[in-house]
């Protein structure tokens, strides 16, 4: 069994102050394969103190110094790329090819993107005789999730390093081994002591300690809306900045003039990708009512062609979901869909028939879904697609916007102008038009209960900056 029983504080691996540990479960086998230490408030105090001490010097480093630092981190990340793919596959059950080509690649993409932004970003702006400058926000606490571990860690650590912030990271205790490996990368890259610190632990202890700590200037959290609310409440007493990327229930509007086969194939495949464990997954497919049967046939075919199995098999499309807790939650929601009268097209409760262990979910498609059903309201976070029929474009847009979430959305039309018009009417932070992929230089984040911050590109960089006005700076 792998052991990760130390934390990284002030440039060194240190023993925890407490003695509690946690087994890390491989979701494909349901067996423990690693063990981590669980941090305490005292461990957080020690890490925050190191970050606070390092901040004054690091905040005054030059652009050139921070560029070189990021370049060093990227070089080591590339060197340990395959190790990272293995770590993510083991801890969250991602197929190895997907772990390599999507999960690890996302981390490299964000580090590379923030490096390019840093090279040219204008931190100073003269307005009349005033200098408006952007300075690092301070000591940051990062609470990251298990579903895209490197994507979310690098979305926070990269811009923090670029702007001159210091930090304490708490990776997800469900999938912590990639975070431990990333910390080894930071150390090997020569990041000076105190700038980056890592404490493993659970949300109610380490996450709460970071959120309430008076010497933390900003908390950046990615996870469920429920947990995000708790973080915001905990942070309120110290009036720290809180940046959140939370849940989603993304609508996928397929308009009557779209190529139905292409749009449904892409939408269903995207919904099942990563075992459905993506906050921006297109889980609500809105289709013309008179084309629903055609849509059902295509979605059913995609679901039944999705190969669920061993993450280390080259033929596997999706692996298990990350934990028994997630498995049980998804099973309950599938049962709710059936009980509330949605038409079960394929999939359903239980594991795929050929699997007798592991947290595997059958790719599931529901049709005749109403937007007031539980499966249309709650974030399932599994490979479950809901097909909702509509009779007019206005109705489709109303259904799309009838949700507490507003993270992502998808619109497909035959004419680009038609898709653009509908996209402007959707209340969400992102819209994918005609199957377009995400753009790492653009902004990632949501409206409403999907959060209040932005990541990626220059927008992610600016989340870590305070704005200072120096009046009279240009005066003679």
Q: Which residues are catalytic?
A: 245, 279
Comparing C-alpha atoms, which of 254, 252, 353, 251 is closest to residue 304? 353
* 154 phi/psi in degrees, rounded to 5: -70, -30
**In terms of C-beta density within 10 A (0-12 exposed, 13-18 middle, 19 or more buried), how is residue 50 classed?**
buried
Residue 307 buriedness (CB in 10 A; 0-12 / 13-18 / 19+): middle
* Neighbouring C-alpha atoms within 13 Å toward the C-beta of 307: 10
Query: SS3 of 287, please?
Result: strand
Residue with tokens 């402007």: 424
- Please report which helix (H) or strand (E) contains residue 196, including its range: strand 196-198
Question: Pick from 137, 214, 216, 135: which is nearest to 170 by CA?
Answer: 216
DSSP for 4-28? E--EEETTEEE--SS--EEEEEETT
Cα angle 64, 10, 135; round to 5 = 40
Instruction: Indicate the length of the chain as a whole number.
Output: 476
- Number of C-beta neighbours around residue 193 at 10 A: 14
Greatest Cα pair distance in the chain: 80
Question: What gap in Å lies between CA 385 and CA 219, rounded to an integer?
Answer: 33
């Amino acid at each position: 069994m792998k052991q990760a029983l130390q934390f990284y504080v002030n440039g060194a691996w240190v023993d925890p102050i407490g003695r509690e540990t946690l087994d890390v479960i491989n979701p494909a086998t349901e067996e423990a394969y690693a063990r981590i230490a669980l941090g305490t408030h005292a461990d957080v105090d020690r890490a925050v103190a190191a970050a606070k001490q390092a901040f004054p010097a690091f905040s005054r480093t030059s652009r050139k110094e921070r560029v070189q630092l990021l370049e060093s981190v990227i070089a080591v990340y590339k060197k340990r790329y395959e190790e990272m793919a293995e770590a993510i596959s083991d801890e969250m059950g991602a197929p190895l090819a997907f772990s390599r080509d999507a999960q690890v690649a996302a981390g490299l993409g964000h580090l590379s993107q923030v490096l390019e932004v840093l090279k040219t970003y204008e931190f100073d702006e003269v307005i009349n005789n005033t200098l408006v400058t952007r300075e690092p926000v301070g000591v940051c606490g990062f609470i990251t999730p298990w579903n895209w571990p490197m994507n979310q860690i690098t979305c926070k650590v990269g811009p923090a390093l670029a702007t001159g912030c210091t930090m304490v990271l708490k990776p997800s205790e469900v999938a912590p081994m990639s975070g431990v490996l990333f910390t080894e990368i930071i150390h090997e890259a020569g990041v000076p002591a105190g700038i980056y610190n890592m404490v493993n632990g659970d949300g109610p202890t380490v996450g709460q300690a970071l959120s309430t700590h008076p010497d933390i200037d900003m908390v950046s959290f990615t996870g469920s809306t429920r947990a995000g609310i708790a973080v915001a409440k905990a942070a309120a007493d110290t009036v720290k900045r809180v940046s959140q990327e939370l849940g989603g229930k993304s609508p996928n509007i397929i308009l009557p003039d779209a190529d139905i086969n292409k749009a449904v194939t892409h939408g269903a495949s995207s919904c099942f990708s990563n075992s459905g464990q993506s906050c921006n997954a297109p889980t609500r497919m809105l289709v013309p009512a008179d084309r629903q049967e055609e849509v059902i046939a295509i979605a059913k075919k995609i679901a039944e062609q999705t190969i669920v199995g061993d993450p280390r098999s080259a033929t596997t499309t999706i692996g298990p979901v990350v934990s028994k807790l997630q498995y049980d939650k998804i099973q309950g929601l599938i049962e709710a869909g059936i009980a509330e009268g949605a038409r079960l097209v394929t999939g359903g409760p239980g594991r795929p028939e050929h699997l007798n262990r592991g947290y595997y979910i059958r790719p599931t498609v529901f049709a005749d879904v109403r937007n007031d059903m539980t499966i249309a309201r709650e974030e399932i976070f599994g490979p479950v697609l809901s097909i909702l029929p509509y009779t007019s474009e206005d109705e489709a847009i109303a259904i799309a916007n009838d949700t507490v979430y507003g993270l992502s959305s998808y619109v497909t039309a035959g004419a680009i102008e038609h898709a653009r018009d509908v996209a402007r009417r959707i209340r969400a932070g992102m819209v994918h038009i005609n199957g377009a992929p995400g753009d790492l230089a653009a902004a990632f984040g949501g409206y409403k209960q999907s959060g209040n911050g932005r990541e990626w590109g220059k927008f992610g960089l600016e989340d870590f900056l305070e704005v200072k006005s120096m009046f009279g700076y240009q005066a003679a």
